[in-house]
Structure 1
Amino acid sequence: MKNIPVHQLKDRVGLAGIEISRFKAGDLPENDETLGAHRDDHYLFFLLEEGEASLMIDFQEVAFSTNTLYYVLPGQVHHRVNNEIAYGWFLAVDPMLISPDYRSVFENQLLLQQPCLLDAKQMQQFRNLLNILHEKYSEDERGPFYVHIVHSLLQSFIGMVARNYGQVNWPGVQLTRPVQLSQQFKKMLSENMRSIKSPSAYASKLHVSESYLNESLKKTTGFPVSYWIMQEVMMEAKRLLYYSELNVKEIAHDLGYDDHTYFSRLFKKTVEATPLDFRHQYRK
């Protein structure tokens, strides 16, 4: 295997931009490939209701017990070690659907997130919400307000996860220099992506060489600086297309592009849909 496979969410989901399922003891992936190490271009969330399970996350085995919550970031290398006696929930979520405030909670613990133990009341709240979300997700996506209902329920779930992780600190964990630099870059990118789109400019602001910044990002996420700049810009473009009434020209200018036709070409190349097609697909 020359490169670590990257699984893309768009290859297997519909309009809602999420995938949700409930797994039970002994469930196995549909093919052998998913058993091996890979990255995802999306977030994964797990809620373990009963039993034990474990994942290898960036060379660290993470064990889960009953009533635990966990997530995997886009770009983290992972593979299943064991879930032979586990019951619970699995969600795959398009990063577009996770707000910057929530992302800052998840990504500030880059590579070091640990399972979050829930009490009985919290666990019941998550169960209730996920049951409703799964029920609505399983309905006909052509029905009225399908996407809006699914996304509203999803936002409640993401908010509850962020609240739980935002209240937890993991003592005694040492961050490596590449991890620290990756965190600093991602925070800087979210604050400056409208005005700064040059990898060398971010490297200069972080007082490192462009090659070292690229090396650090590739080591911790599997992707170079330019990839993350484009992902951040296009993610914000998707949010504006979905949530706002701005036209394409206004969105392009808001994101720092004077030439809206160039922005549209860039969007189509990255997202594989024109901005208007994307808006129509998610709003119909």
Structure 2
Amino acid sequence: MIRMMSEKEPIHIRQAHLSVPFVYRTMQEVEERRNQTPDLPHRHDYFTVLVVEEAEGTHQIDFTNYPLRPNTVYFVSPEQIHHVTLMQPTPRGHVVLFRPDFLQNYSIAPAQLYDMDLFFNCDESRPIELTATEMRQLQPFLSAIANEVAESNLQKWEAVGAWLKLFLVQCKRFKAANYLPNKPLDKRKSEIVKQFKNDVEQLFKQFHKVGDYADRQLLTANHLNDVIKAETGTSAKDFIQNRLVLEAKRLARYSELSAKEIAYQLGYEDVAHFSKVFKKAENVAFTEFRTNLPNV
């Protein structure tokens, strides 16, 4: 159920926290909670995996709307803003929530998680669409997680961590089979791209220049740019600016900060420079973008 807002009503982004390291719920359980507390776009400090078996509606992740489709898995990283709108009262599926510290404590290093390319790097957050057969292959992992969470078995959370890792590995295999381009794997280039993406996600407010990221890998700026362009189709400079612009759009939509304050938060001392970067990326001035944002 979505609450309509007037044009003058300020919009605040809710920060959702997870009080425990790991949570499993069915989609139906989540929807029952939503009926008691209306859901609005919100930002998590934890990872979310939404496994849809049957549902109709929309899953908005940042500024992209993805239709909720049967046999589809959606991944949301900490700090992403998302919102689910359901068109049917009884969805079927699974919701898995876990904090970064759960990964560290139970067998999955954060770097290993990002290496799976399932969760957010600013150029990709596309869900994985599966066949009915592939979805059935995920069911044993999800059932095992649900059973472990419900019981009080010895080394319960170690088992949950192991099943979660197997589930994510299987999702990675499906993604590799369905989406990755058919080209020879260059391990070194792959490592450069992964570190660059992770560095940008962590440091985009601090470092705006390709050379800053090249220095972290002991590369020249030209070489880093060549690798990123060849492997992703996007130049390193554009990748950095796309991440900055995404954060600017989030703040424009869900905060009352002025353009100058947003520019400062993103590491720009000159608001005119920030405005130039934004307009080049979006083909619209920042103030115009903000003025034309639709109501929730």
TM range (shorter): 0.5 to 0.7
Q: How far did residue 32 of structure 1 move? A: 6.3
1:45-71 per-position Cα deviation (integer Å, ceiling 9, x unaligned): 111112323212223221122211111
Residue 235 of structure 1 aligns with which residue? none
| 1:72 maps to 2:76 | yes
Counterpart residue identity of residue 199, structure 1: Q
Shift of the 61–46 alpha-carbon distance from structure 1 to 2, 3 Å rule, reads same
| 1:130 maps to 2:137 | no
Residue 218 of structure 1 aligns with which residue? 247
| 1:116 maps to 2:128 | yes
CA distance in structure 2 between the partners assigned to 1:28 and 1:41 by the alignment: 22
Residue 155 of structure 1 aligns with which residue? 165
| 1:55 maps to 2:67 | no
Structure 1 vs Structure 2: percent identity of aligned residues? 20
8 Å contact from structure 1 (residues 25, 87) kept in 2: no
The 3-state SS of whatever aligns with 1:106 is coil
Match of 2:45 among 41, 48, 61: 41
8 Å contact from structure 1 (residues 76, 221) kept in 2: no
8 Å contact from structure 1 (residues 67, 118) kept in 2: yes
The 3-state SS of whatever aligns with 1:56 is strand
8 Å contact from structure 1 (residues 58, 111) kept in 2: no
8 Å contact from structure 2 (residues 75, 119) kept in 1: no
Residue 15 of structure 2 aligns with which residue? 6
The 3-state SS of whatever aligns with 1:199 is coil
Q: How far did residue 94 of structure 1 move? A: 1.6
CA distance in structure 1 between the partners assigned to 2:198 and 2:30 by the alignment: 40
Unaligned runs of 5+ in 2: 1-9, 182-193, 214-220, 222-236, 252-261, 268-296
Counterpart residue identity of residue 159, structure 2: I
- Alignment map for 1:139-218 (pairs within 5 Å): 139-140=151-152, 143-169=153-179, 186-188=197-199, 199=206, 205-206=212-213, 215-216=244-245, 218=247
Shift of the 41–221 alpha-carbon distance from structure 1 to 2, 3 Å rule, reads farther
The 3-state SS of whatever aligns with 2:118 is helix
Unaligned runs of 5+ in 1: 172-182, 227-284
Give the TM-score, by structure 2 length.
0.55
Q: How far did residue 33 of structure 1 move? A: 5.6
CA distance in structure 1 between the partners assigned to 2:92 and 2:85 by the alignment: 15
8 Å contact from structure 2 (residues 76, 120) kept in 1: no
Q: Bigger shift: 106-115 or 43-52?
A: 106-115
CA distance in structure 2 between the partners assigned to 1:60 and 1:170 by the alignment: 21
Residue 95 of structure 1 aligns with which residue? 100
8 Å contact from structure 1 (residues 102, 162) kept in 2: no
Counterpart residue identity of residue 88, structure 1: G
CA distance in structure 1 between the partners assigned to 2:195 and 2:14 by the alignment: 26
Shift of the 189–116 alpha-carbon distance from structure 1 to 2, 3 Å rule, reads closer
Shift of the 116–221 alpha-carbon distance from structure 1 to 2, 3 Å rule, reads same
Residue 280 of structure 2 aligns with which residue? none
Shift of the 152–2 alpha-carbon distance from structure 1 to 2, 3 Å rule, reads same
Q: How far did residue 185 of structure 1 move? A: 5.3
